[in-house]
Structures are given as structure tokens and as C-alpha cells.
A = this chain, B = another copy of it.
Amino acid sequence: MTSTDTVEISGHLMDSGILSRVLDDIREYGGDYVIVRFDLGHDAGDISHAELKVSAEDDEALQRLLMRLQTRGVNQVDPGVAAVKVTEQDGVFPDGFYSSTNLETQVRLDKSWLPVANPEMDCGLIVEDTEGEPRIHTLPMADVRAGMKVICGASGIRVDVPVVADTGGFGFMESDVSSEKPQAVLVRQVADGMREAKAAGKKVLWVGGPGVVHTGAAPAMVELVNAGYVDVLFAGNALATHDIESALYGTSLGIDLARGQGVEHGHEHHIRAINTIRKAGSIRAAVETGVLTGGIMHALVKQEKSFVLVGSVRDDGPLPDVYTDVIDGQRAMRAELTDVGFCLMVATMLHSVATGNILPASIPLVCVDINPATVTKLADRGSSQARGIVTDVGLFLEQLAGELVPEYRRR
């Protein structure tokens, strides 16, 4: 029997194309809809408000559709209260579990709305009693344990789509992109985003691939580490190894000009650099014992900044600091997200997507890559707050360092 419910969405519905994506979702999930009400602002800046009656073939299908629509910021008009089930198996959610979004989320267990502690995509929502007070937080599937209480179905849940990207603060993209020097404007906007985060006492998170080293941007990044604009780095074995290899052996990595890629200069240097750090015990130990005296990783250690290196199946070695278990790596990344106020992703698809999965949508996020596919992929995966810049990573970081560290430019 057909099940129905009424949902609502507010925002710049006309401008943002969000409504058509909502209707696409309904069709894709085999549902149907009637538009019940549509309050349209009369002026350009006004917020519109829509109410839709959505239906699906049965309640299970409806719940799944409602959960899906919440990823777009669509809430039930009468959300009711949330259903809670107890998990029976480690690492397995109950059937019908609510699959979380990276949006600000609130849950009503009986009367009052409780905020979800750490919004992240594709997790379950766990209810815990802390000193008699229920507390709700996200938990990835791999970490759930039997006996935990998990929110199921779409009732009693409300999400807020961030407005930061549209009107306030960072305002990336929305500000007037001058025809004079757009690339300089972009660099300045990223610099401003970092400055604002720092001024607000927040951390700047970088996610980087080996292209940072190949394009010769390592000195610029070292400068930015030393100037305090890199609080945390998420990367893989490759960035750290190329950086260390370059510092240890002075390898002229060069640039394959015709193809725009760093030339692979044989694994001989590469594997030997890894062995050297393994012998030292860790990157930090290699810095402290004077084995490693330059480069990005060296600067991070010296400045007492954090880094999380997570391995992949193609890794050589790897470096002793690399998490070889990717789920452990994800946990370590999550642990560093507290107080992050700005995120810059540079030249890596794998780690950018991984970070996009766990980063709350409320944190400004810029992705820089010479390959348009990386930028597009990130946006497609649900990191809707992501702003992409398709440009040369080397020249971009060079200009960013010049903008944030004026002395660097003059050298």
C-alpha cells in the first residue's frame, strides 16, 4: 500500500537548482510527488519555501526516500520522533538504519532536538547516555558494536543545509570574480579563507598528493608550514616519500614538460628513502637524529604540526608512519578534524575523496588540481560545499605563499 508523507525545503530554490535534484531523487527512488505549497519570495534575495507530498509503494521505500531527500536538506514537516533499534552484530547496523549526511543534523528522541556531534557521510547515528543525558553522534559502520542504540528511519531527524557558501564568511565564488586578474583573485580568496580560519582560532587542514612535490611546490609549502598556515596534513605514502627522497638524495625530480607530470625516476631512490626512515624508526626520529633535514615533512615535525599518512594498495614500503590499515587511518583522520576551520585539497583524488567523506559540510573546502576530473568527482560525491580550482598546482602554491608570506615573494 502506498505510503505518503509531507516534506519541506527552504532556501534559494529558484537559483540553486536544488529543487530539480530533489525531484530527480524522487523519480529515481520510484516515488511520486505533488507540490502542496510553494512560497516564492518576490525579490531576488528572498528565501523560497516549498512543501511536497511524497509517496512511495510502501513504508520501507518511503523511509529510504525520505532519508535520501535529507541529503538535499529536505525535512519532514511533521518529523515526529526518531526510532531507535539496538544493534545485534558488531560492525553491522540494524536494517533500516539512518544513513547520515555531512550536514548539521538534529534528532528528536522525545521532545527536544539534540544536535548530532560530528556530522559525517554514510555513518549511523548512535544514541548514548552520558550522565543521564542522551547524546547523539555519528559512527562508521566498521566501529559499531552489538548493543549500541542506532537511529532507524527518517522520522525525528532534521538537517540544515549550510548557508555559509552562499552568503556569509568565506563567500568563495559568490564574490565578484574580477575580469582583471581572476587567477590572482582566486589565490587571494583562498588566502583570505585561511586567514579567517586562523583569526577565528581554527586549524587549516591540507590534503595533498605527490604532485605537490613533482610540480616543485615543496618550498612554497614549507614556507606556509613555517608561517603557520598548515596545521594538519592528510596524505599518503607517496607525498611523504617523494618529499623525503628529494630531501635525502637531492633528487632532481624534474617535470616532464610535455605531459605535465612528474617523471617517475625509478624506484631505486624511492625504496631506499623509505628504508632509511624505517631504519630511523619514524619521520620524527629521522628529523631528531639529523637524518632528515629538509622538506615538507621535516617542516611539519619542526613546527610540531600534525600529519596523518594513510596507505594504499600500491604503496612501496611503506614509511613507518603510514597507517597500513585504512580503517585505522580513517579513525586517525577523524581525530584530527576537531577545530578545523578551512580545508585545502591539492593534487590528490584518493585522499580528497576520503577527506570529503568525513568532513562536515559546514567547513569551507577548496580543491586545487590540474585535472578537472578530480574537482568534479569531489563535488559529485556529496561534498557540495567544495569549490574547485583547475590550475597548475605548482604555480598556485607559489602564488599562495607569495600572498600569505610577502617576504617569500621578494626572494
A residues contacting B by CB (< 8 A) are 14-17, 19-20, 23-28, 32-36, 38, 40-44, 64, 67-68, 71, 89, 91-93, 97, 99, 121-122, 141-142, 173, 176-184, 186, 215-217, 219-220, 236, 246, 250-255, 257-261, 263-268, 270-272, 274-275, 278-279, 310-318, 320, 324-330, 333, 350-351, 353-354, 357, 370-373, 375-376, 379-382, 387-392, 394-396, 398-399
A–B pairs, 16, beta carbons within 8 Å: A67-B268, A89-B279, A91-B278, A141-B278, A179-B253, A180-B219, A181-B398, A236-B313, A257-B389, A258-B388, A260-B375, A263-B380, A313-B326, A324-B327, A370-B390, A391-B392
Known: A92-B278, A260-B372. Is A312-B252 also a contact (CB below 8 A)? no
Known pairs A91-B278, A142-B318; list 15 more (Cβ under 8 Å): A14-B35, A16-B20, A23-B44, A89-B278, A92-B275, A177-B254, A182-B255, A182-B394, A183-B255, A186-B255, A186-B257, A266-B382, A312-B312, A313-B326, A390-B392
Inter-chain contacts of A268 with B (CB < 8 A): 64, 67-68, 71, 99
Copies of this chain, whole number: 4
Please tell me if the beta carbons of B324 and A180 are within 8 angstroms of each other in the complex: no
Bound complex: CA of A213 vs CA of B42, how far in Å?
A: 37
Inter-chain contacts of A177 with B (CB < 8 A): 252, 254-255
Bound complex: CA of A24 vs CA of B14, how far in Å?
A: 10
Please tell me if the beta carbons of B260 and A391 are within 8 angstroms of each other in the complex: yes
Please tell me if the beta carbons of A142 and B326 are within 8 angstroms of each other in the complex: no
Known: A68-B268, A258-B376, A372-B258. Is A34-B43 also a contact (CB below 8 A)? yes
Q: Which residue of B lies closest to A21 (CB)?
A: B17
Q: Which of B42, B261, B275, B398 contacts A93 (CB 8 A)?
A: B275
Q: Which residue of B lies closest to A396 (CB)?
A: B395
Please tell me if the beta carbons of A330 and B313 are within 8 angstroms of each other in the complex: yes
Please tell me if the beta carbons of B34 and A24 are within 8 angstroms of each other in the complex: no
Bound complex: CA of A176 vs CA of B252, how far in Å?
A: 9
Bound complex: CA of A350 vs CA of B36, how far in Å?
A: 47
Please tell me if the beta carbons of A395 and B390 are within 8 angstroms of each other in the complex: no
Bound complex: CA of A263 vs CA of B311, how far in Å?
A: 27
Please tell me if the beta carbons of B14 and A23 are within 8 angstroms of each other in the complex: yes
Bound complex: CA of A212 vs CA of B53, how far in Å?
A: 37
Q: Which of B25, B99, B310, B382 contacts A272 (CB 8 A)?
A: B99
Looking at the assembled complex, report how far the CB atom of A190 sits from the nearest CB atom of chain B, in whole angstroms. 11
Q: Which of B141, B246, B373 contacts A317 (CB 8 A)?
A: B141
Please tell me if the beta carbons of B315 and A326 are within 8 angstroms of each other in the complex: yes
Please tell me if the beta carbons of B271 and A183 are within 8 angstroms of each other in the complex: no
Give the 3 A-B CB pairs with smallest separation, nearest first.
A260-B390, A182-B216, A314-B354
Bound complex: CA of A198 vs CA of B328, how far in Å?
A: 40
Inter-chain contacts of A380 with B (CB < 8 A): 261, 263-264
Please tell me if the beta carbons of A396 and B392 are within 8 angstroms of each other in the complex: yes
Known: A183-B394, A255-B182. Is A310-B313 also a contact (CB below 8 A)? yes
Inter-chain contacts of A25 with B (CB < 8 A): 266
Please tell me if the beta carbons of B265 and A28 are within 8 angstroms of each other in the complex: yes
Inter-chain contacts of A318 with B (CB < 8 A): 142, 327
Bound complex: CA of A132 vs CA of B69, how far in Å?
A: 60
Q: Which of B252, B266, B313, B350 contacts A329 (CB 8 A)?
A: B313
Please tell me if the beta carbons of A279 and B92 are within 8 angstroms of each other in the complex: yes
Inter-chain contacts of A372 with B (CB < 8 A): 258-260
Looking at the assembled complex, report how far the CB atom of A230 sits from the nearest CB atom of chain B, in whole angstroms. 19
Inter-chain contacts of A379 with B (CB < 8 A): 258
Inter-chain contacts of A326 with B (CB < 8 A): 311-313, 315, 324-326
